[in-house]
Amino acid sequence: MIDVTIENFEAEVVTASMTTPVLVDFWATWCGPCKTLVPTLEKLETEYAGRFTLAKVDVDANQQIAGMFGIRSVPTCVLMVGGRPVDGFMGAQTEGQVREFLDKHLPSAGELQAEAEVDEAQQMLESGDTQAALQKLAEALAADPANDDARFDYVRLLIATGGYEEAAGLLVEPLKRIPQALRFEALHQWLQCMQFVQQDERGNWPLEQFDAAIAQNKRDFDTRFAKAQVLAAEGQWTASMDELLEIILRDKEWNGQAARKLLVGILELLTPPKPKKQDAVPGKSAGGIELLGKGAGEQDAATALVNSYRRKLSMALN
């Protein structure tokens, strides 16, 4: 439990909630229901073992903070996640009611374990230990099968290391979802490119052989698409996308829009991932409690490349 004042509010509530949810309890010394609620909150903070942090704000001593949240009565609790309020409740609650509120928003123990193992896997990849990273991602997915970040990272690494059969199996469920899970469709497209190179004789063609065939017939879309798949499998993304654009410009509907689907998949794979923990942004809880904040991001080279080819695709389709 942390006592919050205006001096430590930014660090202990806003910044801290970027990594661990913070439940802010607005209370007053003269408030009887507040005294009833506090032991319940403290007990649950201990029981939940790090899944959230309890922060207490004395509204009489910290009227500026209370004003920021629009507090009109106490006790009022506000849950901060990612630097903004996501929900809250007013008045004394039973332990069961508070537990139900927390469970609606907090990650489970399995989810936390999976997130930690995904982070460890990333560190292992950065140090060059691919096999250990694969093992960690497998453990993360086993701990939390619903964790799409773990599934995505694991499948992506499996494809990159030649584990095509296992990758295909792990893609079955997300590819059945409606609406379509775009990032998993992107992995599916990339997997098909890798399998094409492995299974089709054209996977061993030098690029000059593709170019010679295309020079004989500009509308030989099958050869163009095969070349694009080989380029994608080799990680030559821009060259692959250029070839796919040539198909789209000549025949948007060829082979069930295969060229468009692969190009969209490549763009999704190239799109830089969003930060796991966002800077504080304007937000409002389900109870109407508001907090103002600002967030900004700069476009990097990868984002610029993706945006450039999105524009090219849009122009080709119109």
Say how far apart CA 16 and CA 13 lie, in whole Å: 5
Say how far apart CA 97 and CA 86 lie, in whole Å: 17
Say how far apart CA 147 and CA 121 lie, in whole Å: 15
Choosing from 18, 23, 24, 34, which is the catalytic residue? Answer: 34
Active-site residue, 31 included: yes
Say how far apart CA 15 and CA 152 lie, in whole Å: 28
Say how far apart CA 214 and CA 159 lie, in whole Å: 29
Choosing from 14, 18, 24, 31, which is the catalytic residue? Answer: 31
Task: Indicate left, alpha or beta for 79 from its phi (over 0: left) and psi (-120 to 50: alpha).
Answer: beta
CB atoms within 10 A of CB 258: 20
Three-state SS across the chain? CEECCCCCHHHHHHHHHHCCCEEEEEECCCCHHHHHHHHHHHHHHHHCCCCCEEEEEECCCCHHHHHHHCCCCCCEEEEEECCEEEEEEECCCCHHHHHHHHHHHCCCHHHHHHHHHHHHHHHHHHCCCHHHHHHHHHHHHHHCCCCHHHHHHHHHHHHHCCCHHHHHHHHHHHHCCCCCCHHHHHHHHHHHHHHHHHHCHHHHCCHHHHHHHHHHCCCCHHHHHHHHHHHHHCCCHHHHHHHHHHHHHHCCCHHHHHHHHHHHHHHHHHCCCCCCCCCCCCEECCCCCEECCCCCCCCCHHHHHHHHHHHHHHHHHC
Active-site residue, 193 included: no
Residues with catalytic roles: 31, 34
